[in-house]
């Protein structure tokens, strides 16, 4: 099976702009989670979608939003970018319908730089 | 508050020696415990997990971890380190009682294996 894919891999944006990141999960996986990884804060959970519904949300401002499509592909949007949004954004998929037991499979990430 | 601690930012081990990467947790209820590894410029990869049963869990690449309930620890171990084991290691916990299904992540430990 193909792994989790994320596009684009690298992105440079200007403060105030918005950005959309895309994630295609492993075929058959209906759970998609998003994380922000920075050197200072480590791995921070953004949100999780399962069957097009947001099942869980981390402590990020409303500028961060996401959605999931019927084919389980997911997008993440960040509006009004700030310098502090520069990070590696990771997407992970799982086959676990409960969200409790199974491991997650991560994509390579999108490196976002805000200038 | 529920938390995961990886007390060492970095662990240095000579090739061929045994290695241990430490993880302790503080959660309510029975925990589900995971270890992931991140190689440079790549997403995270699942190594192993403890859900229930035998306290000693074996995973990928010769790694194993022992669940110790009394010490609330889940240390990652390998009998003989390889240079290729050099990477960033993350411990994660999902509290069984947490209806939010959210993983709690440690800050990560950089493992350096010297030839």
Which pLDDT tens digit goes with each residue over A49-79? Answer: 999 999 889 999 999 999 999 999 999 999 9
pLDDT band at B99 (very low <50, low <70, confident <90, very high): low
* First-to-final CA distance of chain B: 41
Assess B1–A contact: CB distance below 8 Å, yes or no: no
Minimum-distance CB partner of B105 among A42, A48, A101: A42
Q: Do residue B49 and residue A100 have CB atoms under 8 angstroms apart? A: no
Least CA distance to A91: which residue of chain B?
A: B43
Q: Do residue B102 and residue A92 have CB atoms under 8 angstroms apart? A: no
How many percent of chain A have pLDDT more than 90?
82
Assess B97–A contact: CB distance below 8 Å, yes or no: no
* Local structure of A107: helix, strand or coil: coil
Which pair of tokens denotes residue A44?
Answer: 């921070």
pLDDT of residue B88: 96
Give the number of A-B residue pairs with CB atoms closer than 8 Å.
Answer: 47
Please give the mean pLDDT across all residues of chain A. 93
- Mention every residue, 6+ apart, whose C-beta is less than 8 A from residue B95: B2, B27, B28, B29, B31, B32, B104
CB atoms within 10 A of CB A98: 10
Q: Do residue B32 and residue A100 have CB atoms under 8 angstroms apart? A: yes
Assess B103–A contact: CB distance below 8 Å, yes or no: yes
Q: Do residue A58 and residue B32 have CB atoms under 8 angstroms apart? A: no
- Answer whether A36's CB lies under 8 Å from A42's CB: no
Closest CA to B85 of B48, B115, B50, B49: B115
CB atoms within 10 A of CB B22: 17
Which pair of tokens denotes residue A65?
Answer: 């939003």
């Amino acid at each position: 099976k193909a792994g989790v894919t994320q596009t684009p891999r690298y992105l440079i944006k200007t403060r105030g702009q918005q950005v959309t990141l895309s994630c295609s999960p492993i075929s058959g996986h209906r759970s998609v989670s998003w994380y922000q990884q920075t050197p200072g804060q480590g791995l921070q959970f953004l949100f999780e979608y399962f069957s097009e519904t947001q099942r869980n949300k981390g402590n990020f401002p409303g500028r961060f939003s996401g959605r999931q499509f019927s084919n389980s592909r997911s997008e993440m949007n960040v509006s009004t970018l700030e310098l502090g949004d520069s990070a590696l954004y990771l997407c992970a998929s799982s086959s676990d319908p409960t969200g409790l037991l199974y491991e997650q499979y991560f994509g390579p990430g999108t490196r976002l730089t805000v200038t | 508050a529920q938390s995961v601690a990886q007390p060492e930012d970095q662990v240095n081990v000579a090739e061929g020696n045994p290695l241990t990467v430490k993880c302790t947790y503080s959660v309510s209820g029975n925990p589900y415990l995971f270890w992931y590894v991140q190689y440079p410029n790549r997403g995270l990869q699942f190594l192993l997990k403890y859900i229930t049963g035998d306290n000693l869990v074996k995973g990928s690449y010769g790694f194993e971890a022992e669940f110790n309930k009394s010490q609330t620890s889940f240390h990652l171990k390998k009998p003989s380190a390889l240079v290729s084991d050099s990477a960033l290691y993350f411990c994660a916990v999902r509290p069984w009682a947490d209806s939010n299904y959210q993983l709690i992540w440690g800050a990560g430990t950089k493992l350096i294996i010297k030839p």
